[in-house]
Structure 1
Amino acid sequence: MTLHSLPLFVRLAGRPVILLGTGEPAEAKRRLLDRAGAVIVGEEVDAALAVVAIEEEDAAVAAVGRLRARGILVNAVDRPELCDFTTPAIVDRDPVLVAIGTGGVSAGLAAALRQRLEAWLPAGLGALATRLHAARPALRARYPDGGERRRALGAAMAAGGPLDPLGAVADVDVDGWLAADQPRGRGHVRITLGSPDPDDLTLRQARALANADRVIHHPGVPAAILDRARADAAREAWPAAAAGEGLTVELVMA
């Protein structure tokens, strides 16, 4: 499946961003840019990004044209067809940021999803991320192989695992987990799919795909299912060679 946009997190602290327009739409963008530490400037200043929050149609289209002619990426408020980038709804668990985007077609839907996630994601999620960052040297020493390290973290962060990010994160003991011998995904798992809809995957099937190092797919397995695997997992059509290191997941339609 093709992405309509590539989600990126851009560090704007101290960098100029052009903001054009007045009224509440422009003020909302100003508040967002202020939170990111951007330096808000006018059209005459050199910048890599610009936000056009001009309500009058012709003036907005003209401003977008001028800015694009200078090679500036533009966000045009309420005009997704003119946008080079869009700004998502954000759940902030510093340093964890969750961004929900709809390509600019429904800000209301993005906001509704953000509200649900706000209630779902623990307030201490950022603290868990900070502890994991501090443990990186010890984690690399314990698991020097990148694939083994990834599998260990995947198993630990699964539902009910010792590092479950949706569990009681305030009580997570990263050092204690590192000192223990945690099981890691290996071998070959064969999944028979009863439906082409990825929403019909069981929790166990979704977890196996998320932790797979290699995915072998038989004819008829839809791309939407393959997209549930990690982006860096190898994907091979059946028939494929014998499994190598790590966890191999074989997918076949019923």
Structure 2
Amino acid sequence: MFLTVRGRVCVLVGGGDATPPKLELLRRASASIRLVGADPNFAETAAAAGAEILPAPLTAGHLAGACLVIDASGDDRTNARSAALARAAGVPLNVVDRPALCDFILPAILDRSPVVVAVSTGGAAPALAGLIRQELEALIPPGLGRLAALSGTLRGEIRRRIADPARRLAFWRRLYRSGASDRAAALDLLDQVAAERSPTGSLTRITIGPGGEQDLTLRQVAALRRADLLLVEDGGDPAVLDHARRDAPRRGLVRTPAEAAALREELGRGLQVVQLVAEEIRQAMPRLAAE
């Protein structure tokens, strides 16, 4: 979950080594920052960043109108005070390095605005989350943010020109794979897609052996990630479905003529369908599954 804090009051309880990075995090999110108990050596820097500097200790009045509190003091007594006041005020609290006191966790963040990737270990291993973020930085290019911003300006035009959701998704996939970074190139691609006949869908059968997820090949995992619709047998290995998109609908296997006709229609619309069947029942599947 991402919380919008632009222009909203966020209270930062300062004094510890974590105060400067938390202040910078809130500043970059365009929050209205109240810094309580700033180190004197840091107060001038914080004020230059637009923070309101307030004296310690934290009081209920400091929380008026706040949408969240971050305690970066590093002091156990201050942490306990922040927890008590935040609970009483109903304001979500994060206490740095004290997950037991937290209402929310601050993840390691990879910022390619407006694309933001958050990595969290639930507070158990923050250093590991940071290492994962560093690995992702090499995989996600800085220019991805520009492509995402371009997408935001195109959404209305795409919806007007391409009515079918499956074809719109096909357009977005082609746009992102092409790496087009300007509006003219994106609109040229839109003209091509809008003029094309509806793409042909595909039906991929994946037979799940006794090893479940462990038996999946890389090609099968790739098919699961692309799937627009999943046909799933009851009682399958739930870990297999973890490789599929969360927004891809799940349905039972095709067993009636009406269900077969509905599937043909969806394939005609260009949907990528994956059928997951257990090894022992694959011989009993309707003929459609093999077409």
The TM-score range, normalised by the shorter chain, is 0.7 to 0.9
Q: CA deviation at 1:169?
A: 5.5
Query: Which residue does the alignment assign to 1:196?
Result: 212
**TM-score (norm. length: structure 1):** 0.81
CA distances 1:11-57 after superposition (whole Å, capped 9, x unpaired): 21211111113121122211111111112224423212111123232
CA drift of 1:77 comes to 0.7
1:101 aligns with 2:116: no
Instruction: Work out whether 1:212 is the aligned partner of 2:237.
Output: no
Identity of counterpart residues, as a percentage? 36
Question: What's the offset of the Cα at 1:200?
Answer: 4.5
Question: Matched residue of 1:144: which SS?
Answer: coil
- Structure 2 unpaired stretches of 5+: 37-57, 280-291
- Secondary structure in structure 1 of the residue aligned to 2:70: strand
Larger Rg: 2
Q: 1:74 to 1:185 in 2, by over 3 A?
A: farther
Report how far residue 220 of structure 1 moved. 4.4
- Three-state SS of the structure 2 residue aligned to 1:175 is helix
What is the aligned residue count?
A: 238
Q: 1:33 to 1:171 in 2, by over 3 A?
A: closer
Corresponding residue of 1:179 = 191
Letter matched to residue 222 of structure 1: D
Moved more, 209-218 or 83-92: 209-218
Q: Paired residue for 2:101?
A: 82
Give the Å deviation of 1:110: 1.1
Q: Counterparts in 2 of 1:1-254, with a 5 A limit?
A: 8-41=1-34, 42=36, 43=58, 44-45=61-62, 46=64, 47-154=66-173, 156=174, 163-164=176-177, 173-181=185-193, 184=199, 186-194=201-209, 195-197=211-213, 200-202=216-218, 204-238=219-253, 241-242=259-260, 243=263, 244-245=265-266, 246-254=271-279
Distance 1:119 1:212 in 2: 26
CA distance in 2, matches of 1:231, 1:36: 28
Distance 1:185 1:123, change over 3 A: farther
